[in-house]
Amino acid sequence: MMKHLFLTFLFSLVVIVSTNAQEDYKHKDLKKHFENTEFYTVADLPQNANFKKKPKNIILLIGDGMGVVQVFSAITANKGKINMSQMPYVGFSQTQSADNYVTDSGAGGTALSTGQRTYNGAIGVDVNKQPIPTILELSEQNGLATGLVSTSSITHATPASFIAHIPDRNLYEDIAADFLKVEVDVFIGGGKDFFAKRKDERNLVDELKQKNYQVYNSLEESKDVESGLLAILTSDKHNEVYPNRGNMLPDATQKAITILQKNKKGFFLMVEGSMIDWGGHANNTGYIVQETLDFDRAIGKALKFAATNKETLVIVTADHETGGMTIEGGSMTEGKVDGNYTTGGHTAVMVPVFAYGAGADKFAGIYNNTEVFAKMKALFGF
Ligand code: MG
Ligand code: ZN
């Protein structure tokens, strides 16, 4: 019996140590009440613009852990309206993975990027750990420009699912090396250490430069760059939580659009609001709301471009919900939200899909997360 207990204790220690090393953002920090002080106005979007039936460009924005309640908490906190409120076609995505009713971001991201359900923890590989082509890779092969933007490390599960083929989401250095195998035109996020401080002593920043990438450490440093291959690694690992990282996400989204739109054949861009999920794991209402509003301001950049371009589709969705969040009280006039939570992990519920622009009508209804990929692929005509 004692031996059994001791082994259990040892095993728990190993689990705690390894979990902390890999997922250092999953600290519970229960804060139910949030009162917003930073409000923004939402520009009216044309709703009957003469959009093309098929998009030349697709901007897919993923709010990690962003369920309907997270969206409504942001609507409430901004006194009734956010950019997402203006996206006329709304659907629901069922997020179950191949091996779990409750998905993680690896399987969730891979379903969105490849159209296949896989096991939790997988990055761009199927249940047999075989690589599957992603919408970003198909876009490259078809002459489109491509981009990835995230607030987390760019090697984290969601952005990784669009460019890497790795059996385990925690292998950040392996994921970084996969960035050298695809000519993604623009990528902006954290994670410089996984490129430049590696166990194998490769320096992927130098290798990127040899491949004609312009590599920078901040958006400010890169402000004069308007074309060409561009990598901006804005922090050693993950970026800071909002507001400490400033307007990194909306600015990076705008930067990517500015460069990618120069490609005559069109572009595919994925933008992730990575830390809505982390606020959910923390059960912290302010954290969730501020990250969701920051993500929404990035969505505003994409919508503004789509409204004038008329050949662009903007899709906003999530990989899963986090926290089992609900709202028990609040004020639309004061921007107050009283959240509550049922778990420190992910939940199984459907997540919203919002669409605006060319081909947006295809995203109404209830469907599996894999359909988001299928619909994008069909609209691009691949
Ligand atoms: Mg993520
Ligand atoms: Zn999570």
pLDDT tens profile 279-302:
999 999 999 999 999 999 999 999
d(CA 355, CA 342): 29
In the CATH scheme, what architecture does the domain 53-380 have? 3-Layer(aba) Sandwich (3.40)
Q: ω before 243 within 30° of 0 (cis)?
A: yes
> Which residue has tokens 């503004």?
304
Strands laid side by side in the 326-331 sheet: 33-35, 336-340, 326-331
Q: Which ligand is nearest to the CA of 280?
A: 2
Q: Give me the mean pLDDT over the 156-165 stretch.
A: 98
**Range 146-168 burial, b when 16+ CB lie within 10 A, else e:** bbbbbbbbbbbbbbbbbbbbbbe
Tell me: pLDDT of 125 over 60: yes
Tell me: pLDDT of 1 over 50: no
Q: What is the pLDDT of residue 8?
A: 52
Q: Which of 27-31, 171-175, 338-342 shows the lowest per-residue confidence on average (mean pLDDT)? A: 27-31
Q: Give me the mean pLDDT over the 141-149 stretch.
A: 98
Task: Express as a percent the part of the chain with pLDDT over 70.
Answer: 94
The Cα-based distances of 318 to 3, 85, 138, 301 in angstroms read 44, 16, 21, 18
Nearest 5°: the CA angle 152, 168, 105 is 45
Cα–ligand 2 centroid distance for 309 (angstroms): 34
> Which residue has tokens 């609507």?
75
d(CA 65, CA 51): 30
Overall size of the chain counted in residues: 382
Cα–ligand 1 centroid distance for 109 (angstroms): 8
Q: Active-site residue numbers?
A: 105
Cα–ligand 1 centroid distance for 184 (angstroms): 19
Residues 180-228: tens digit of each pLDDT: 999 999 999 999 999 999 999 999 999 999 999 999 999 999 999 999 9
Cα–ligand 2 centroid distance for 325 (angstroms): 13
Tell me: pLDDT of 5 over 70: no
d(CA 193, CA 170): 14
Q: Which ligand is nearest to the CA of 25?
A: 2
Residues 317-376: tens digit of each pLDDT: 999 999 999 999 999 999 999 999 999 999 999 999 999 999 999 999 999 999 999 999
Cα–ligand 2 centroid distance for 87 (angstroms): 26
Q: Which ligand is nearest to the CA of 271?
A: 1
Tell me: pLDDT of 95 over 90: yes
Give the start-end residues of each E strand in the chain. Answer: 33-35, 57-63, 89-94, 145-153, 186-190, 214-216, 230-233, 267-273, 312-317, 321-322, 326-331, 336-340, 346-347, 351-357, 365-368
Q: Which of 24-33, 64-73, 234-243, 369-378 shows the lowest per-residue confidence on average (mean pLDDT)? A: 24-33
Identity of residue 311: E
Q: Which ligand is nearest to the CA of 322?
A: 2
Task: Express as a percent the part of the chain with pLDDT over 90.
Answer: 92
Q: What is the pLDDT of residue 257?
A: 98
Residues 306-320: tens digit of each pLDDT: 999 999 999 999 999
Q: What is the pLDDT of residue 102?
A: 98
Mean pLDDT of the chain: 94
Domain boundaries in the chain? 53-380
Cα–ligand 2 centroid distance for 323 (angstroms): 9
Tell me: pLDDT of 263 over 50: yes
Own/partner contacts of 213-217, CB < 8 Å, gap of 24 or more, are: 217/192
Cα–ligand 1 centroid distance for 64 (angstroms): 5
Helix axis angle, 248-260 to 285-309, nearest 10°: 20
Q: What is the pLDDT of residue 7?
A: 52
Q: What is the pLDDT of residue 16?
A: 42
d(CA 325, CA 274): 17
The set of residues, in sequence order, having a beta carbon less than 8 Å from that of 168 and lying 6+ positions away, is 121, 122, 123
Identity of residue 172: Y
Q: What is the largest CA-CA distance in the chain?
A: 73
pTM higher than 0.85 for the full model? yes
